Structure 1
Amino acid sequence: MTWNIPNILTVLRLLAAPGVAVMFLYFHRPWADWFALSLFVGAAITDWFDGYLARLWKQESKFGAMLDPIADKAMVLIAIMVLTGYNGMNPWLILPATVILFREVFVAGLREFLGAKAGLLKVTKLAKWKTTAQMVAIATLFLGTGLEYLNGVAMQGMTPEQYAEAVSAGLADPIRACGNRDCASFANILGLVLIWLAAILTAITGWDYFRKALPYLRDDR
């Protein structure tokens, strides 16, 4: 392989994937949430730059083409694992997360089975939109978990009613609001909407790949 800038960015993105989980092992919250969010967003940005620079500088390589989707999937899958744990196994998150995980494993199995014919399953524009939707949704959900933790610290174990009374009495600081909702709720709801959109796009692209591979799965060939 050639150690050019696009390939280096791809390798760094791959290394950043487990780093998202490591943040929660070595830092206290909410710093872990902010560090994980920053690392994830920074790595997601390199996903656009490495391909753009490779085409601009004519430095496209087989190594980069091989590692780029692996780095993307590692980022998404590890981040989803962390988010499902810190969202209390929320069923509204578990279901789209399951769709995303299932599709990635299924398509990886298809590519392995097809072997030399795996080129049939080239990345499509819709698949690129799917990856973008996944990354935006995950970043929004990381923001929500961080803000939600801060809300929990502010409430100090009080119920919402008790907390509202404490704020009225001047004994507690009000939680920062975004419109009619607190910012954590707003970020979490937006993140869930985006992850469902990403799951729908993920399922569609998975079906598209299966349809393309179907002729090669018949026993009469």
Structure 2
Amino acid sequence: MPTDLPNLLTLSRIAAIPVLVTFAAIGAPWSNMVACAVFSVAAVTDYFDGKIARDRGVTSSFGRMLDPIADKLLVGAALMLLVGLERLSHAALYPAIVIMLREIMVSGLREYLAELRVGLPVTRLAKWKTGFQMGALGTLLAGDSGAGLIGLSALPVSLIGEAGLWVAAALTLATGWDYLRAGLRHAGEQDAAVQPTAPVGETAAQP
């Protein structure tokens, strides 16, 4: 049910997006830290909603549908904010593009495979990708100005965040390729299954 705790946690990630956008748009050091905190708390719910659902045995179709949507909305909003507010260097645009394109591709693959009643399992590498991605985006939302509020002005926080974004992009390519291969394999199997076969004893006519 939508009112189960795991589903409420998933919905909270979507509800956090306008709050994240508001504080990030203010652009002050304190608001950057609040945006980082909002994003980080929302990202952590991605772990707990699945764990609670499994532990309590309350997994639902609603949750399975909404969970990846909430993740992609949160990540997409954070990336667009960072680009739109010019919080990323030109070099960091490339991993951001890779991450966005991969999310779109995987969404398309999930939609196609859902018609075949085939699921895409979450691999260990995909979990690492998510960890680096969320960590990098949270760090970039705080930025150098926000980090200065908590005594970390000596650290190149934005540079660290961009490095994490490159690592996430590399993992994104690896996991995206795995999912694409799975999609192509199932598509090939479906095409082979519907190919017409000639009756036994008949041969193709010669020209």
Q: How far has the Cα of 1:35 moved from its partner?
A: 1.8
Query: What's the CA shift for 1:220?
Result: 4.7
Change (3 A) 1:200 1:73: same
What is the CA-CA distance between 1:114 and the residue it aligns to? Answer: 3.0
Percent identical residues: 41
The alignment of Structure 1 onto Structure 2 pairs a total of residues equal to 190
From 188, 194, 198, the counterpart of 2:158: 188
Cα distance, 1:67 vs structure 2: 1.1
**Mapping 1:46-85, distance limit 5 Å:** 46-85=45-84
SS of corresponding position for 1:119: coil
TM-score, structure 1 normalization: 0.77
SS where residue 3 of structure 2 aligns?
coil
CA contact (8 A) 1:130 1:201 kept: yes
Residue 199 of structure 2 is aligned to residue 200 of structure 1: no
Q: Which moved more, 1:12-21 or 1:190-199?
A: 12-21
Name structure 2 gaps, 5 residues minimum. Answer: 194-207
Aligned to 2:13: 13
| Structure 1 residue runs without a partner (length 5+) | 152-175
- With normalisation by structure 2, the TM-score equals 0.81
What RMSD in Å do the two structures reach over aligned CA positions?
2.3
1:24, 1:71 → 2: CA distance? Answer: 19
1:118–1:208 CA distance, 2 compared to 1 (3 A): farther
Partners of 2:117 and 2:73 lie apart in 1 by 20
Superposed CA deviations along residues 61-108 of structure 1, whole A, max 9, x for unmatched, are 111121111111111111011112233552221000000001011111
Q: 1:216 is matched by which residue type in structure 2?
A: H
